[in-house]
Amino acid sequence: MLATAPEECTGPALRTWADACPLVAGSGGREQATRRIVDSLGDEADLPEAGRFEVSRVIDGEVVTIRGAVVKGIPRIGTAFIPEKFPGG
């Protein structure tokens, strides 16, 4: 996962941008924010059985766009970001 803006909520660059992402700050850290993003996917009907997906979830009042793919029945997150704060997503 590659973060390209401070508002992105996943990726290696998050280590230096953790305070800039309201989801990370509100979750208590990047690991906790990532867990909340993963948990938000659950067994939702809007995920495909296989292949790419893009969904939105509301977490802590922020609309988070999550992109990834379902591989062998398991959702894999490619990126997650708050479009209101990163409209180029």
Q: What is the pLDDT of residues 37-46, one digit of tens each?
A: 999 998 678 8
Question: What counts of helices (H) and strands (E) characterise the chain?
Answer: 3, 3
The pLDDT assigned to 89 comes to: 54
Could you give the CA distance from residue 9 to residue 57 in angstroms, rounded to a whole number?
13
The pLDDT assigned to 50 comes to: 94
The pLDDT tens digits for 52-86 are 999 999 998 889 999 999 999 889 999 988 888 77
Percent of the chain with pLDDT over 70: 73
At residue 53, the 3 state secondary structure works out as: strand
